[in-house]
Amino acid sequence: MARAADGKDVIVASNLSRTFRRADRQTVTALDDVTFRIDRGQFVCLVGPSGCGKSTLLKLTAGLMLPSSGTLEVEGKSVTRPGPERGMVFQQDSVFPWLRVIDNVEYGLKCRGVGRAERRKSAEFYLERVGLSHVARAWPRELSGGMLKRVAVATVFANGANVLLLDEPFGAVDYVTKRNLHDVLLALWTEAGTNERRTVVFVTHDVDEALILADRILVMHSGRIVDDLAVTAPRPRTTDGLMEPTMVRHKHVLLAHLGLEDAKGAAEAPENAG
């Protein structure tokens, strides 16, 4: 596994498990003895079928729930609660309908005691970067679904978290809007430079989305990590780029993990690709 330039792992999970008790008293294992490390500045996608533990793992990293066993550390500290060093974008729109757009983007900074002038400057900067300066004073109800996702992206970057956790944030938008949101997210992530980039963990069911976004794809199944793929194709990654032999091979492997292709076809992909 590649290591960060400073030698530090930002997210470290060791023998991490999480179980739940259902209403019928049966125990369900959402995560089963998961161990992994994520380096500073990596863009990691979690891919797997529904119910495989992706969102549970993200919520544990966010501090929204605690593990049943094992340990999870972010930046060398055990995760026991949510913290400002970890920002999260949920599947559902998470903007406050009673706040104007710019006040939504400022809200996290306000909660941390950042002065009005400083937080307004940050909010205006990120709204401009996601193309929403013209609706800074609008109410969320006046925005489209894609625009609300841009507000969420601007908010999580403005809050200054070093680790960004995104749980299928673009799953409900159309294809064109999703591709535009990919461009917005990657532009914000890359513009800081290699040594300053945020660490991103992004949950998705969409294989093409993972291949376009990720440096690395962790594949989950039945509460375990079953594969770890490095995606080294240069950015920006276009639709044509997804047809390159290495990317085609990755896609076949991911589809096989999702049960959409048989393992034999995925194993033969390198010879057939291109």
> Per residue in 206-225, pLDDT tens?
999 999 999 999 999 999 99
Dist CA 143 CA 211 (whole Å): 29
Residue 137: exposed, middle, or buried by beta-carbon count in 10 A (0-12, 13-18, 19+)?
Answer: exposed
List of domains in the chain: 1-79+198-274 (3.40.50.300)
Mean of per-residue pLDDT scores for the chain: 89
Structure-model confidence comparison of residues 120 and 22, the more confident one = 120
Does the structure show a pLDDT above 70 at 251?
A: yes
Does the structure show a pLDDT above 50 at 1?
A: no
Percent of the chain with pLDDT over 70: 92
State the average pLDDT over residues 226-232: 95
pLDDT value, residue 3: 40
Does the structure show a pLDDT above 50 at 171?
A: yes
182-206 pLDDT per residue, tens: 999 999 999 876 677 999 999 998 9
- My answer on whether omega of the bond before 97 falls inside 30° of 0, hence cis, is no
> 137: which 2 tokens?
């004073």
Q: How many CB atoms lie within 10 A of CB 179?
A: 15
Contact 81, 229 (CB under 8 A): no
125-154 pLDDT per residue, tens: 999 999 999 999 999 999 998 999 999 999
Q: What angle do CA 62, 228, 243 make, to 5 degrees?
A: 110
